[in-house]
């Protein structure tokens, strides 16, 4: 799951430094 999140984050470029699901939700 981390790999998938990292891939998605890499595309966006906002959660690249974040590795928490909560951060992803907040960034959305």
Q: CA-to-CA distance for 24 and 26, rounded, in angstroms?
A: 5
Quick one: pLDDT at residue 26? 64
**Is 18 buried (19+), middle (13-18) or exposed (0-12) by CB count in 10 A?**
middle
Q: Which domain holds residue 16?
A: 1-28
pLDDT tens per residue across span 1-28: 677 766 766 666 665 555 566 665 665 5
Tell me the residue length of the chain: 28
Quickly tell me which residue has 């966006």 as its tokens.
12
Q: Which residue has the tokens 């430094």?
A: 17
pLDDT of residue 3: 76
Tally of domains in the chain: 1
pLDDT of residue 14: 60
């Amino acid at each position: 799951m981390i790999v998938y999140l990292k891939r998605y984050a890499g595309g966006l470029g906002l959660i690249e430094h974040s590795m928490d699901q909560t951060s992803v939700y907040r960034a959305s």
